[in-house]
Structure 1
Amino acid sequence: MASSSTDVLDGGWGWAIVCASFMAQLLAYGSPQSVGVLYPEWLNAFQEGKGMTAWVGSLVSGVGLIASPICSACVDNFGARPVTIFSGVMVSGGLMLSAFAPNVQFLIFSYGIVVGLGCGLVYAATLTITCQYFDKRRGLALGIVTTGTSVGAFIYASAQNELIVMYGLDGCLLIIGAVALNLMACAGFMRPLNMPGYYLKQKAALERNTEEQLFEKPPLDDLTIIAGSTSTTPDKSLMVKEMLITIDTKDSAVQTEKKKGSFLAGLAIIKVIKKKQQAYSKYMHSMYEIMQDQSMMSFCISIFLFSLGAFPPVLFIEDVAMSQGLMEEVSVIPLVSIGAIASCAGKLLLGMLVDIKWINGIFLYAFTMFAGGLTLFLIPLTKSYLGLQILSFVLGFFSGNWSLTSYITTKIVGLDKLTQAHGILMFFGGFGIMLGPPVVGWFFDWTQSYDLAFYFSGGCVELGAVILLLLNLPCWKRKSAKSSESDRPDVQYTSNCDKVASVA
């Protein structure tokens, strides 16, 4: 069994899993990542404030990140294939419901929450099944899979523009929702290597039921005397008495066993509860240790500030061009598409740069934040559509620094605590994504201009870069952090997988 399982890794059907996961992320995240194209249409359709309407785009991207622990638990218990099928129903249903939204509040639920949770389930399922099929080439496989979001945003931005022109906003959402049903087809390729927890529990329950059937009473037909026989011989009566005595003995034995079994079951439940409490206390203690790490906390704060400031342009950049009169008609390649394809290039290039030995991952991330914040400061000063295209490309490229998060987190906390630390990091990032667009929209509603809003966004990103840089300088390191680092062995990367792992 061990040899057969190892033969499956790093090739074979695993590449079919990569293609299916890539398409799943493309279909799920295509519309949410290019929501900036839909945002001006919603403003015209519902005549709500920009701050209120911005909640739709912020929730669809932030809810999936915040709910990532729940999504991962669903994949562990039910498997990647059922979760992907269910997420296809959620994403498609949410998009189709949004076509019939009577107001922004309904749209926040249908598009923001329903589609957002569906995307979170897809993300967890695709990454889990890909990690199961790859070992040495895991980083490369995850890098290919995660670029599906950027490619989807690039394709969907132009496609949604054309569909809105041809069929209107409602028709566009209905067609995009129907296309999202192909997530079920992608799920068909996700053949599990290991049985998920739900099926293992069902199998154990069936085995217990089979054992209990051995103690059941024999059928009553074995005790009936043939009808019409008025005479009962001594042998017959003796045989019936023996059978009745045997049944009584069995009944008493079964009752005794049930009493013992119920007592033992109670003890087992108590033991399970104690084990759960111990595991929970260990988990909370581990989380506390992670939060005590100065580098980790500075990274979490910087992720929050970067998400708070750098995500709103994805939603507002098209409206900025329209409000300033920089584009008179629908562009063939929207600004959202330019940012998406630049983000894809940034993920790959920054992932390769961080593998160079003399480059520090944290300082590289701080540099991308400085450059991204400077780009945000330049957006209000730009008075041409070409300038917005260039700035969208630059900002999209440096937004590809999301590919560095797992690499930097591993460097800070080690491989053992990577899952917990990455979950904390995604929570901070999702919280920033949820707050960013509404705050920028409220700034516009207050000042009737995007200038102050983008200055605020750029200031948040620059502040995060300063915090990350200063708290990770050698002279600012605490002595306790140094002692803890001496106790924990450094993480060494020796395989080709680790050279590409940052792309994931």
Structure 2
Amino acid sequence: MGGAVVDEGPTGVKAPDGGWGWAVLFGCFVITGFSYAFPKAVSVFFKELMREFGIGYSDTAWISSILLAMLYGTGPLCSVCVNRFGCRPVMLVGGLFASLGMVAASFCRSIIQVYLTTGVITGLGLALNFQPSLIMLNRYFSKRRPMANGLAAAGSPVFLCALSPLGQLLQDRYGWRGGFLILGGLLLNCCVCAALMRPLVAAAQPGSGPPRSSRRLLDLSVFRDRGFVLYAVAASVMVLGLFIPPVFVVSYAKDLGVPDTKAAFLLTVLGFIDIFARPAAGFVAGLGKVRPYSVYLFSFSMFFNGLADLAGSTAGDYGGLVVFCIFFGISYGMVGALQFEVLMAIVGTHKFSSAIGLVLLMEAVAVLIGPPSGGKLLDATHVYKYVFILAGAEVLTSSLILLLGNFFCIRKKPKEPQPEVAAAEEEKLHKPPADSGVDLREVEHFLKAEPEKNGEVIHTPETSV
């Protein structure tokens, strides 16, 4: 266990597409649920935190932003750790960090301390679990990878449906401090998921020594790929507005006079729709006729999400917010199921551990700007409509960047041969022609016609080989 060799995805190992991969998929499901649902679920504690510390919307929004920023911004660090130590040890340490942060937050006396514990420590712990789990899922699935990504991504809405009402219940019964303490205990389950990440090991070849890894700890060559650069830019713009509506929709409902428990139910509605949207999107993306166009499907899902945000800005009552959560859940599920599948398809298995770290780092800046900017706008205007319009405009812009960039820049590149075709062509080059019609006696006469002269070797085809 451990070592960079573990996560190299040895060339002699074929993705099982099943077997123990289903256990890895379950672990990835749980980790994804905690990683993405936690920043949204803690929003149910925002009202209590505002009363406790006398702060505003933008100040509490920083908690979710720092959590997401750590999840994204520590991507290169996670890549280096995974390539150096392996997925399982990194995830075990991450599970301990995630739990420790929430437990420590329950004793905090200022909002800055909450930022450092819940935001930084718990965020780092979730990051050390999230990225390695995706890398292991990519190792175990190839043919069924879109479906596996969709099922793993479904962990986010499932946990959101559970954690949001659970958080409200814990707050009502034990206060926000007791709620944070219990949630910290739940995060120890990340360590259990880490134990499921059994590394793939290549079969030992007779007479061969142990495999040696030549991979860099962080491969920056992915920036030479125009497809990767375009994806990274579009994803960064998307993240500016993607997380704003889930963070503010509960507070929006409470501001309309909706009871706290009923307001928290909005996240449950969003999560319930999301549960079915993610596996469905993964199944559709895995179809033979759709998979080559997964980038366009991803662009459509972002466009759909942006339109949902703009439509949600017109909601003026609880019923309107429920309708918004339904359509937002569908589009959000599509984005969640496709974002890492598209990245895997662009960079391939061997560069994915570095590529995802670099993409998450670029998105971290956007995460730090997104929800706080929405909070600042809300503090200035006290109108939720403008916050949703801002989020929709940013997500729509990202979809156009990916769509137009892929159409005009990537599509015009010379078409590269498929791996199977390239292998066949190479085999033909090395295979002697079947119908050459050359007499073997002529070849022998040619090879012996020019003997060595004065100790100098004449470079015939025989001596050159």
Tell me which interval the TM-score lies in, with the shorter structure as reference length. 0.7 to 0.9
Q: Does 1:489 align with 2:417?
A: yes
Give 1:171 shift. Answer: 0.8
Match of 2:224 among 272, 276, 289: 289
How many angstroms apart in 2 are the aligned matches of 1:184 and 1:283?
28
Match of 1:385 among 315, 318, 340: 318
Match of 1:311 among 243, 254, 274: 243
Q: Choose 1 or 2 for highest CA Rg.
A: 1
Give 1:376 shift. Answer: 1.4
- Alpha-carbon displacement from aligned partner over 1:33-56 (angstroms, at most 9, x marks no partner): 423222233223222122222111
> Residue 22 of structure 1 contacts residue 145 of structure 1 at CA under 8 Å; is this kept in 2?
yes
> Residue 249 of structure 2 contacts residue 266 of structure 2 at CA under 8 Å; is this kept in 1?
yes
> Residue 106 of structure 2 contacts residue 178 of structure 2 at CA under 8 Å; is this kept in 1?
yes
How many angstroms apart in 2 are the aligned matches of 1:322 and 1:300?
36
Task: Write out aligned runs for 1:349-498 (5 A).
Answer: 349-356=280-287, 357=289, 360-400=293-333, 401-412=335-346, 417-473=351-407, 476-477=408-409, 482=412, 484-486=413-415, 488-490=416-418
How many angstroms apart in 1 are the aligned matches of 2:35 and 2:322?
26
> Residue 414 of structure 1 contacts residue 490 of structure 1 at CA under 8 Å; is this kept in 2?
no
Aligned residues between the structures? 399
Q: Secondary structure at the match of 2:270?
A: helix
> Residue 250 of structure 2 contacts residue 266 of structure 2 at CA under 8 Å; is this kept in 1?
yes
Give 1:438 shift. Answer: 0.4
TM-score, length-scaled by structure 1: 0.70
Question: Corresponding residue for 2:273?
Answer: 342
Q: 1:47 to 1:143 in 2, by over 3 A?
A: same
Stretches of 4+ aligned residues off by more than 6 angstroms: 5-8
Structure 1 window deviating more from structure 2 (130-139 vs 146-155): it is 130-139
> Residue 148 of structure 2 contacts residue 282 of structure 2 at CA under 8 Å; is this kept in 1?
no
How many angstroms apart in 2 are the aligned matches of 1:28 and 1:361?
24
What amino acid maps onto 2:285 in structure 1? V
How many angstroms apart in 2 are the aligned matches of 1:13 and 1:84?
18
Match of 1:49 among 47, 56, 80: 56
Q: Secondary structure at the match of 1:382?
A: coil
Identity fraction in percent: 27
> Residue 58 of structure 2 contacts residue 375 of structure 2 at CA under 8 Å; is this kept in 1?
yes
Give 1:21 shift. Answer: 3.9
How many angstroms apart in 2 are the aligned matches of 1:371 and 1:131?
27
> Residue 37 of structure 1 contacts residue 336 of structure 1 at CA under 8 Å; is this kept in 2?
no
Question: Corresponding residue for 1:153?
Answer: 160
Give 1:394 shift. Answer: 1.1
Q: 1:372 to 1:93 in 2, by over 3 A?
A: same
What amino acid maps onto 2:317 in structure 1? S
How many angstroms apart in 1 are the aligned matches of 2:174 and 2:93?
28
Q: Does 1:127 align with 2:141?
A: no
How many angstroms apart in 1 are the aligned matches of 2:141 and 2:402?
33
Q: Does 1:165 align with 2:192?
A: no
> Residue 75 of structure 2 contacts residue 359 of structure 2 at CA under 8 Å; is this kept in 1?
no
- Alpha-carbon displacement from aligned partner over 1:365-402 (angstroms, at most 9, x marks no partner): 33222222222122232112121112112112211213
> Residue 30 of structure 1 contacts residue 155 of structure 1 at CA under 8 Å; is this kept in 2?
no
Match of 1:71 among 74, 78, 94: 78
Question: Corresponding residue for 1:322?
Answer: 254
What amino acid maps onto 1:109 in structure 2? L
Q: 1:130 to 1:455 in 2, by over 3 A?
A: closer
Match of 1:181 among 188, 192, 198: 188
> Residue 91 of structure 1 contacts residue 119 of structure 1 at CA under 8 Å; is this kept in 2?
yes
